[in-house]
Structure 1
C-alpha cells in the first residue's frame, strides 16, 4: 500500500512540476503595443516568473484572427477587436489592461485639394474593416454634422494605404503610426483630422480569453507587471528601449519616440483604476464603440459589455 501511495505522490509531483505553456499574445505594429515586445526582449516576463510569447502580425485584423482561431491566448488591440472577436467567434475576450489612448496617432490623411473633413462627402475613404478605422472616421464626420452614409468606405489593408493614395484609388485614408510616418513624408498628402481632437476616447488594450483568466490569473497579473517594468526600463534607458521597439516597426528610434511622446498617452498601472473602477471609463468606451459599429453594420447585434471587462 505504501508503495502505491509513494508512486501516486511521485506522479502528482511530476505533473505539478511540468512547465506551463507560455501565454501567447498577438500584436500588430502600434507604438503602445511595442512595450510587450520590449518586455519579451529584455526577459522581463521571466523576471516576473511567467512565460509569454509575443506573436507578431502585420495588422489588427491578423492579430484578432489569430486569437479567434485559438492560435493566441490574448491580443493587444482596440475595443473594436474585442467586440468583433466576441461576435465572430466562440471565444470570450476580456480586457485586462488599458495600455494607452490615442492622442493624435490615429488620423485622416487626404489627397491634394481636400483641406477638411467636410470635403469628404461623396468621396472614397480607405479603412481597414473590422478595426477602429471606422470609428475614427465616424467621429471625424460627426464633428462636422455628417455621418458614414455620406462617404464611400473602401477596404484597404494598412500596409497599402500609401499606395492607394498614390494611385488615386481613394481620396483619403484612416491610418496610424508607423504607417502615418511614411505617408506624411510625401508632401502632397495632408492630415485633416486626428484623435488629438477627441482626447481620451480611443483606447488601446490588452485582452485575454476568459478561460485563460479563469485558470491563469496569477500569470496574467505577472505579465502585466512585466509590461509595467518595460515602461520603467524605457524611462531609465530611453535610447536602448526606443531602438529595440523602433527596429521591429522598421522606423527610426527618433520617429518612434516622437510617436510615443506626441501621439499617444501611455497609461500606467496606477491609471487603471479610472478605467476599471467606479468611473467605469472602459465600460463607457465600449458602449460608445458598440453604438458606432452597430450603426455601420460591422456588428449585427449588441453584446453583454460588462462580460468583456475583466473582474
Structure 2
C-alpha cells in the first residue's frame, strides 16, 4: 500500500483539515457542472484509472454523460488525499482508514462509491529469525507510524493475544524502510508492496502476518465529495462505467487482458512480471455485484469499527474528539456508526448497483 505519511506530517494534515472545517462553517451547496478532477497515486489496485484515461475509456463514458473527467496523478499519496480534502480535487483514490482519518475526520463529507479491492497480502509483518508473531514481543518494529502498517501490526498483535505496548515502534519512511531492513540491527518491520517483496529477500526473513490474514479490512476505494456527487449524479454513473469496463478488460486471461495489465505496469513504472505479482496479492472486485455485496455486508461495519477505534486511540480524529464516535459513518441499509449528526463518510453502493443491473 502507498500510505506515505510520517507521524508529524499526518498530524499536520489532520490539524489543517480540522482548522479549515472549523473556520468555513457549513459547506456551500455544490452546483451542477460538467468538468471534474479525480486524483490518483501509484498502487496496483488503482492503475486501472490512468489506463482507462490513456485508452479512451474515460472519454467514452464522460462523453456519454456530457462531462469532462480528468484523472490527475499526484506522486505523494497523502498529498493527493490532502488536495482532495482541501477541495482541489473532486474525488481521489484512497484506503478506508485514510478516508476516515483525513477528509472525514476533517469535516469533509465524503462518499465511497467504488469498492475497488482489498489488500490480500500486499501488507505484511516481517521478522528475522522467527516464524511466528509471538516472537515479535519486546522487539523494535520499524514502520510508517499511524499508517495502515501500524493498523496491521495492531491486528497481528491482537490476533496473537498481545497489545501495541508489547513492542516499540520506530517511525521509518516508506522510502527508507527496505534499505534499513538490510541492517543486522533491525529484525522486525511492517511494510507494503513493492517494499515487502524486496524485504522478504533479506536472509532469514519471514512474513509472519499479512493482510491476507485479515481479508477485507484494508480496503481501497474511490471517494467523491458528497455535495458534488449529489449535484452531479452523472459523475458517479460515468465513474462506475469507467471502472467496470476497465475491469472487464484487465480480468481477461488472454492477450488483450495481458496487454492491458502490461500497460498498467508501465504506467506504474514497473515490469509486467512485478505488476502481476502485486495483483496476485490484491483482491480486485471486478464484478459490481460482488462489490455491492461486500459493501452491504455486516463485515464492513465490523471492519470500520476496528479502524475507527484504532484511529481514535492513536489520536487521528484530532484533539477535539472525545470518543471514537466523534466521526459518523453511514452504510447500506440505513446502518450508522458513530455520531448520526456528524456523518462525513458514506459507503454508497448506488452506482455500483446501477452497473450490476446494467443500467448505466
User: Quick check: 2:122–2:282 contact (8 Å CA) kept in 1?
Assistant: yes
Query: TM (normalized to structure 2)?
Result: 0.73
Gaps of 5+ in 2: 1-31, 331-342, 349-360
Which residue is 1:136 aligned to? 152
Q: CA deviation at 1:66?
A: 2.2
Which residue is 1:305 aligned to? 329
Which residue is 2:36 aligned to? 22
Partner secondary structure for residue 122 of structure 2 = coil
Distance in 1 between the 2:166 and 2:54 partners?
Answer: 46
User: Quick check: 1:37–1:54 contact (8 Å CA) kept in 2?
Assistant: yes
Which residue is 1:177 aligned to? 193
Which residue is 2:16 aligned to? none
Distance in 1 between the 2:146 and 2:233 partners?
Answer: 29
User: Quick check: 2:38–2:71 contact (8 Å CA) kept in 1?
Assistant: yes
User: Quick check: 1:60–1:81 contact (8 Å CA) kept in 2?
Assistant: no
Which residue is 2:117 aligned to? 100
User: Which among 253, 257, 265 is matched to residue 272 of structure 2?
Assistant: 253
Q: Which moved more, 1:242-251 or 1:279-288?
A: 279-288
User: Quick check: 2:116–2:284 contact (8 Å CA) kept in 1?
Assistant: yes
User: Quick check: 2:145–2:169 contact (8 Å CA) kept in 1?
Assistant: no
Distance 1:137 1:171, change over 3 A: same
Which residue is 1:82 aligned to? 99
Distance in 1 between the 2:168 and 2:75 partners?
Answer: 25
Which residue is 2:46 aligned to? 33
Q: Which moved more, 1:114-123 or 1:215-224?
A: 114-123
Distance in 2 between the 1:179 and 1:249 partners?
Answer: 14
User: Quick check: 2:47–2:264 contact (8 Å CA) kept in 1?
Assistant: yes
User: Quick check: 1:80–1:130 contact (8 Å CA) kept in 2?
Assistant: no
Which residue is 2:293 aligned to? 274
Q: 1:129-153 CA distances to partner (integer Å, 9 max, x unpaired)?
A: 3431121111111111011122222
Distance in 1 between the 2:237 and 2:300 partners?
Answer: 19
Distance in 2 between the 1:67 and 1:299 partners?
Answer: 18
Distance in 1 between the 2:169 and 2:316 partners?
Answer: 12
Distance in 2 between the 1:136 and 1:186 partners?
Answer: 21
User: Which among 54, 59, 83 is matched to residue 46 of structure 1?
Assistant: 59
User: Quick check: 1:95–1:208 contact (8 Å CA) kept in 2?
Assistant: yes
Q: Which moved more, 1:81-90 or 1:93-102?
A: 81-90
Query: TM (normalized to structure 1)?
Result: 0.84
RMSD: 2.4
Which residue is 1:242 aligned to? 261
User: Quick check: 2:149–2:192 contact (8 Å CA) kept in 1?
Assistant: no
Q: 1:141-174 CA distances to partner (integer Å, 9 max, x unpaired)?
A: 1111011122222222222220221346753222
Distance in 2 between the 1:252 and 1:163 partners?
Answer: 21
User: Quick check: 2:33–2:232 contact (8 Å CA) kept in 1?
Assistant: no
Distance in 1 between the 2:112 and 2:186 partners?
Answer: 34
User: Quick check: 1:128–1:158 contact (8 Å CA) kept in 2?
Assistant: yes
Which residue is 2:9 aligned to? none
Distance 1:168 1:70, change over 3 A: farther
1:215 aligns with 2:231: yes
